């Protein structure tokens, strides 16, 4: 939709398609047809932090996993880790490994959804492809083998979650202190039987994807390609970690500016701000301030900051990925490539974990009462760093919750990215659908989960307007 006056034109892209959740993009153009401003508006609001107050702390992992049906396992595990912190317990080693298996399966199925179902139509048909064909149905018709790979890989990830937790969406198997039941031999063998074909399908897709790259040089240069900071979890050796690890911040030149930040230390380095035109917060690297402190998280950031992954095939692919530049990879278009590498890593790592001799142990949970009034859990969700921060009273009832979600971390970068893409692709004098799709494609690179991200801290900034038939404001209420 376009709105024009003598000096400016407002272009609204609504809805933003092939993403999880509801959003719109608005572009402002001056009289010279130059895009001067771009905004990514998240138009839905869900106040999980507010209605968790007063609940018993042990309910939070299950409640907050309902934040999203795409990545419930990540919220479940981050919540359980926050509760482990409240209990001040060390969970059994096998419980740690089993949680890792489920979380890696979550990453596998979520990345498959993002790559094959949401972004692959752009890769197959191009940004200017027929809009009626540029979807998963068109993909299945044009490249049925590619579509089948996506279905198989997502089915594999969800199947592993179901074998561990009893259901594919919103399992409750991960609990404070560990997991609620051990892994049985039949389930382990079923999971191991799935992995060889899944590994082969990811390798085939990696080769296909790398062959496409020369066709997308303009998109690689224009879709959120700029200097920023990067953040993610690593272990003491600097290897990427998805379940455990500490936060590493890296600058655009590849310098580690802060390393091994514990969960309890995150408020010293991550600060959040708000804007009135979106329900999503804007975290930034606190020591650098709001302007310089923009950072990216997720698959691209994780590969940039990592010295390695720790499995042979994924490390080989990581080496090739990093060979593109002596500095961190800036082009957000390469989030897609990074997802495929992480899918390969997830498959390899699950196999290693399941072949551990103690994986069938029955000692899967530590029992305790609360020993702290504050607990923090961190994991790498598919889309990036996820932090659950809980506060309780002496009776174990929740007094405060804050979620800092991956999509929120990327909020500033997404807004800057759509401005960059719009300035390259959008021309008022010859407006075409493919131009606007290229702007939307910036958002799909980051694969935002907007249900997860729309949780304002404290009271949300809500505004209600009563309009006349002519559009005049008759009455207004604001929080």
Mean pLDDT of 53-62: 96
Assess contact for 470 and 86: CB atoms under 8 A: no
For range 384-407, the mean pLDDT: 96
Per the prediction, the chain carries an average pLDDT of 91
Q: How far is CA 390 from CA 58, 74, 87, 264, 399, in A?
A: 11, 16, 12, 11, 8
Q: What is d(CA 442, CA 421) in angstroms, rounded to the nearest whole number?
A: 7
Q: CA angle, corner 290, sides to 286 and 292, nearest 5?
A: 90
Terminal CA-CA length for the chain: 29
Using alpha carbons, list the distances in angstroms from residue 171 to 37, 195, 423: 42, 21, 44
pLDDT at 1 over 80: no
Tell me: pLDDT of 450 over 90: no
pLDDT band at 459 (very low <50, low <70, confident <90, very high): very low
32 pLDDT band, cuts 50/70/90, is confident
Q: Is the dihedral of CA 38, 16, 271, 301 positive or negative?
A: negative
The Cα 52–Cα 97 span in angstroms is: 29
For residues 242 and 302, what is the distance between their CA atoms, to the nearest angstrom? Answer: 9
166-188 pLDDT, tens digit per residue, is 999 999 999 999 999 999 999 99
DSSP structural state of residue 56: B
Lowest mean per-residue pLDDT among 50-54, 110-114, 332-336, 412-416: 50-54
Tell whether the model's pLDDT for residue 6 goes beyond 60. no
CA distance 434 to 439: 9
pLDDT band at 456 (very low <50, low <70, confident <90, very high): very low
Whether the per-residue pLDDT at 46 is higher than 80: the answer is: no
pLDDT value at 108 more than 50: yes
Band (49; pLDDT cuts 50, 70, 90): confident
| In contact, 95 and 181? CB cutoff 8 Å | no
pLDDT at 301: 98
The residue with greater pLDDT, 428 or 66, is 66
Give the alpha-carbon dihedral of 205, 113, 449, 350, to 10 degrees. Answer: -80
Residue 4 has pLDDT above 60, yes or no: no
All structural domains of the chain with their residue ranges:
9-45+410-478
Q: Taking residues 438-450, what's their average pLDDT?
A: 93
Residues facing 377 on adjacent strands: 388
Cα distances (angstroms) measured from residue 377 to each of 60, 85, 180, 394, 447: 12, 7, 18, 20, 22
Sign of CA dihedral 335, 112, 246, 377: positive
Nearest to 108 by CA among 312, 351, 307: 351
For residue 135, what are the CA distances in angstroms to 17, 132, 139, 155, 456? 10, 7, 6, 19, 32
Cα distances (angstroms) measured from residue 415 to each of 15, 35, 37, 41: 16, 13, 9, 9
Q: What is the mean pLDDT of residues 126-138?
A: 92
pTM here?
Answer: 0.92
Q: How confident is the model at residue 472 (pLDDT cuts 50, 70, 90)?
A: low
pLDDT at 394 over 70: yes
- Pairing between strand 256-261 and 473-478? unpaired
Classify 368 as helix, strand or coil.
coil
Contact 180, 171 (CB under 8 A): no
Given a cut of 70, is residue 473 above it in pLDDT? no
Share of the chain above pLDDT 90, in %: 77
pLDDT tens figures, 201-231: 999 999 999 999 999 999 999 999 999 999 9
Local confidence band at 474 (pLDDT 50, 70, 90 cut-offs): low
CB-based burial, 314-336: b 16+ in 10 Å, e otherwise? bbebbeebbeeeeebbbbbbbbb
- Mean pLDDT value across residues 285-306: 97
Report the C-alpha gap between 441 and 418 in whole angstroms: 9
Handedness of CA 19, 138, 211, 204 (dihedral sign): positive
**Does the pLDDT of residue 24 top 90, yes or no?**
no
Examine the pLDDT at 452 and tell me if it is beyond 90: no
Provide the pLDDT confidence category of residue 451 given band limits of 50, 70 and 90. confident
Helix/strand/coil for 398:
strand
The CA distances from residue 442 to 22, 244, 338, 411, 425, in Å, are: 15, 29, 15, 12, 12
Q: Which comes out higher in pLDDT, residue 2 or 298?
A: 298
């Amino acid at each position: 939709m376009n709105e024009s006056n003598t000096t400016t034109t407002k272009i609204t892209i609504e809805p933003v398609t092939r993403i999880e959740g509801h959003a719109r993009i608005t572009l402002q153009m001056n009289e010279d047809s130059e895009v001067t401003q771009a905004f990514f508006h998240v138009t839905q609001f869900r106040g999980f932090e507010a209605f968790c107050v007063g609940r018993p702390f042990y309910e939070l992992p299950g409640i907050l996993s309902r934040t999203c049906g795409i990545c419930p396992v990540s919220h479940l595990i981050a919540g359980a880790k926050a509760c482990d912190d409240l209990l001040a317990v060390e969970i059994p080693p096998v419980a740690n490994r089993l949680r890792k298996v489920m979380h890696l399966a979550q990453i596998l199925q979520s990345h498959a959804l993002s790559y094959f179902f949401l972004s692959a139509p752009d890769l197959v048909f191009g940004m200017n492809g027929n809009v009626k064909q540029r979807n998963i149905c068109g993909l299945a018709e044009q490249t049925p083998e590619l579509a089948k790979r996506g279905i198989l890989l997502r089915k594999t990830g969800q199947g592993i979650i179901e074998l561990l937790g009893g259901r594919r969406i919103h399992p409750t198997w991960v609990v404070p202190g560990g997991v609620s039941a051990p892994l049985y031999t039949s389930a382990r063998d079923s999971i191991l039987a799935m992995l060889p074909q899944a590994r082969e399908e990811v390798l085939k897709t990696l080769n296909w994807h790398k062959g496409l790259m020369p066709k997308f040089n303009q998109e690689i240069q224009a879709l959120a390609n700029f200097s920023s900071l990067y953040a993610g979890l690593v272990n003491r050796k600097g290897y990427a970690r998805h379940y455990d690890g500490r936060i590493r911040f890296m600058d655009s030149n590849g310098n580690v500016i802060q390393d091994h930040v514990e969960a309890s230390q995150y408020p010293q380095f991550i600060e959040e701000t708000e804007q009135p035109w979106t329900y999503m917060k804007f975290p930034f690297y606190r020591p650098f301030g709001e302007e310089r402190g923009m950072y990216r998280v997720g698959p691209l950031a994780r590969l940039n900051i990592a010295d390695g992954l720790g499995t042979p095939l994924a490390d080989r692919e990581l080496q090739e990925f990093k060979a593109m530049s002596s500095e961190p990879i800036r082009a957000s278009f390469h989030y897609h490539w990074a997802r495929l590498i992480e899918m390969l890593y997830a498959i390899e790592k699950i196999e290693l974990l399941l072949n551990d001799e103690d994986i069938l142990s029955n000692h899967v949970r530590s029992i305790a009462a609360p020993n702290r009034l504050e607990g923090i859990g961190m994991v790498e969700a598919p889309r990036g760093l996820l932090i659950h921060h809980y506060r309780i009273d002496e009776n174990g009832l929740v007094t405060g919750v804050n979620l800092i979600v991956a999509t929120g971390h990327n909020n500033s970068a997404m807004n800057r990215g759509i401005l960059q893409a719009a300035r390259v692709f959008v021309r008022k004098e010859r407006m075409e659908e493919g131009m606007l799709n290229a702007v939307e494609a910036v958002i799909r690179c980051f694969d935002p989960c907007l249900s997860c991200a729309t949780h304002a801290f404290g009271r949300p900034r809500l505004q209600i307007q009563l309009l006349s038939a002519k559009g005049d404001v008759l009455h207004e209420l604001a929080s």
